């Protein structure tokens, strides 16, 4: 039986180490590849080989938007943690306020990036304590460019249906991407997806609640392996 290939995409302000514990836990099922956008280190691309094993895509937050159509079409399972199709609210008055908050974040990031990133991490990890991170070596221009990109980036739910199965996980106390955004994805995918909401969890699910996430995901991994074998 061919092993799984895991391809993990982190969100804005994070890096490939988001997935370190996942890599350790999932090593028994196959090969783990972690993409790195390059905010704090050299960028790390990922390449898919044609081994014939199941392809599992793992995404956190804005990382969902960096998966190519070609990669989605090859996927047997897509895992979305803290994800969204469109970051801002759809109601005009709330959308204007949300866009303004991001623009203010962009402006402040240019002046005091470490302060902005620390506050961002505090929000991501809430209601838990944020981990200590060294923000000294950062690619400020890339962080700024991607934050601006966030303002208008939209995903079509139809595109996500190209993956064989979709598993959506969201924290009930997410202060960065409200859980309603995860439910919106599920509502548009319906029979293509499963939705799991983790109580007392925030936005940094892959870091703070990896074990709970894997409890939902590992049965799905076993299933796609079985299907490939059959």
Write out the chain's pLDDT in tens, 230 residues. Answer: 569 999 999 999 999 999 999 999 999 999 999 999 999 988 998 887 767 789 999 999 999 999 989 899 999 999 999 999 999 999 999 999 999 999 999 999 999 999 999 999 999 999 999 988 877 789 999 999 999 999 999 999 999 999 989 999 999 999 999 999 999 999 999 899 999 999 999 999 999 999 999 999 999 999 999 988 77
> How far is it, in rounded angstroms, from Cα 151 to Cα 76?
30
Per-residue confidence (pLDDT) for residue 229, from 0 to 100: 78
CA 195, 163, 47, 37 torsion-angle sign: negative
pTM given for the model? 0.95
Closest-CA residue to 206 (of 174, 160, 230): 174
What is the CATH number that goes with domain 4-89+148-229? Answer: 3.40.50.1820
Per-residue confidence (pLDDT) for residue 50, from 0 to 100: 67
Per-residue confidence (pLDDT) for residue 2, from 0 to 100: 63
Phi-psi region of 61 (alpha: psi -120 to 50; beta: other; left: phi over 0): left
CB atoms within 10 A of CB 88: 19
């Amino acid at each position: 039986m061919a092993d799984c290939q895991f391809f993990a995409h982190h969100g804005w302000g994070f890096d490939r180490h988001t997935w370190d514990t996942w890599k350790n836990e999932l090593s028994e099922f196959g090969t783990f590849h972690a993409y790195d956008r390059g905010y704090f280190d050299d960028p790390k691309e990922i390449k898919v080989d044609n081994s014939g094993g199941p392809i599992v895509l793992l995404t956190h937050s804005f990382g969902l938007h960096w998966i190519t159509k070609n990669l989605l079409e090859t996927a047997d399972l897509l895992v979305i943690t803290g994800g969204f199709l469109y970051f801002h609210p759809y109601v005009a008055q709330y959308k204007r306020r949300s866009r303004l908050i991001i623009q203010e974040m962009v402006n402040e990031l240019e002046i005091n990036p470490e302060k902005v990133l620390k506050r961002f991490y505090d929000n991501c990890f809430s209601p838990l304590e944020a981990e200590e991170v060294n923000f000294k070596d950062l690619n400020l221009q890339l962080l700024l460019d991607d934050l601006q990109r966030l303002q208008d980036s939209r995903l079509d739910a139809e595109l996500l249906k190209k993956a064989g199965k979709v598993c959506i996980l969201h924290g009930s106390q997410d202060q960065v991407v409200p859980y309603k955004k995860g439910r919106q994805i599920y509502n548009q995918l319906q029979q293509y997806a499963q939705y799991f909401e983790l109580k007392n969890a925030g936005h940094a699910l892959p870091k703070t609640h990896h074990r709970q996430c894997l409890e939902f995901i590992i049965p799905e991994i076993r299933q796609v392996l079985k299907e490939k074998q059959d």
